[in-house]
Chains A and B, each alone.
Chain A
Amino acid sequence: MNPIDPTVHQALDGELPPETLAPALRRDVERLQAVVALLATAPLVGSVEQRVMAAIERPAPSAARRLLRWAVRPHSVVLRMRPVWSLALAASLLLLAVLPSPKFGPQLGEEEGIAQFVGRFPGARSVNVVGSFNDWGPVSIPLEDRNHDGVWQAIVVLPAGTHEYMFVVDGERWVVDPLAGRFVEDGFGRENSVLIVRPLRR
């Protein structure tokens, strides 16, 4: 864009008579004056008076109504992003779609499975389970009576395989699980319950 001679601006601002300008500069002034004359002609636009008067005779909508009207009307949302960010976003979405979603809850090893212990011991203060999986007791597994209805239970992850176990009620009474599918003699004239844990992943 070529700057105009300052005297042209002065002439257009009425600070200098155009006649005092050099012919070339005067032509610029006249050209711009002609532009203004063209733009000053009235455009072919119909009157808006009726429209405005009809609108102002209606009561103004309340703020809540205006908000509701705005909320239900469609609005365009323009999101401007640099192409590099668009590509990064697309790549991230693709990765999310391709990668397996993370699993919640306990993470199981290749040779582990889930075991559920359930026993009915009304009035018991505590119930634990001990067995071959925890060397019969150093760290026993506590059962819970969540509903206070005498039904105690626990769900734990154990190594896959065959395990023998017993319930220990109130810390002193050893009880065989009557619901166990299998039993085995313990060598002391009694029986242990038998649990078979199958690996969850194969």
Chain B
Amino acid sequence: MDVSEGPSDAQVVARVLSGEHEAFGLLIRRYEPGLLRYATRMLGSRDAAADAVAEGLVRAYRHLASCRDPTRLRTWLYRIVANRCKSHLGRRPTGDVSLDEAPPVADPGDNEAALEHAEELALVERALMTLSPEKREAFLLKHVEGMSYEEMAAATGERIPTLKMRVHRAREALLEALKEYQ
């Protein structure tokens, strides 16, 4: 996805490949918010998410020449970061409790609405972490990152029917988990 302002992804990629490595900063600023959000929801930990995204972006820079279709750079970046997330999940000890799973800490400056939002988010994140990584990935890419099933297939390497099935199962599991919490 190219943003409407500024040079297109393909133009920035060409600049980076021609030796202007500072131009990679443009791509980072363009896609970092979504990648960090995706990784945080996938891993349930802000620190691990920052590590996964940073590792993924460095890897993307080093292999930028192998990005065959720069117009689909976003999907390519998500694929790299998704793989870093899987790697983090694979080496994380069982029972690891993330900061995000901790109950929200009340701050005198917080108003009631902000506290309520934090509590609801914590509840939803807890429900999300009960899903298998595959279902969580499918749900996040579809609904939170707004990808089409074709883009999801490119980002995950999975077949579209498999991804549809995972999204459906994730919706059902989330509704079930939220009913239990409420």
Contacts and interface: CB of A to CB of B under 8 A. Distances in A.
The contact size tier of chain B is 35 or more
Interface residues of A, number: 32
Contact of B46 (A9, A36, A45, A49): A45
A53 B40 CA distance: 21
Interface of B is mostly: helix
Given A38-B120, A76-B91, 15 more contacts: A1-B172, A9-B171, A28-B175, A38-B124, A39-B140, A41-B121, A43-B40, A43-B100, A45-B46, A46-B50, A48-B32, A49-B32, A51-B54, A52-B24, A56-B62
Contacts of B117: 38, 41
A8 B172 CA distance: 10
A56 B178 CA distance: 42
Nearest to A51: B54
A36 B170 CA distance: 12
A4 B170 CA distance: 11
Contacts of B17: none
Interface of B: 21-22, 24-25, 28-29, 32-33, 36-37, 40-41, 46, 49-50, 53-54, 57-58, 61-62, 91, 100, 117, 120-121, 124-125, 127-128, 140, 143-144, 168-169, 171-176, 178
Contacts of B46: 43-45
**Which of the listed residues B53, B58, B62 has the most CB atoms from chain A within 10 Å of its own CB?**
B58
A4 B36 contact: no
B176 A1 contact: yes
A52 B175 contact: no
Given A4-B171, A32-B174, A38 B121 contact: yes
Contact of B178 (A8, A31, A36, A41): A31
A3 B172 contact: yes
A12 interface: yes
B21 A47 contact: no
A60 interface: yes
A125 B176 CA distance: 96
A136 B152 CA distance: 93
Nearest to A35: B124
Interface in A17-62: 28, 31-32, 35-36, 38-49, 51-53, 55-57, 60
Contacts of A40: 37, 144
B172 A2 contact: yes
B152 to A, nearest CB: 13
A48 B144 CA distance: 21
A4 B175 contact: yes
Contacts of A36: 143-144
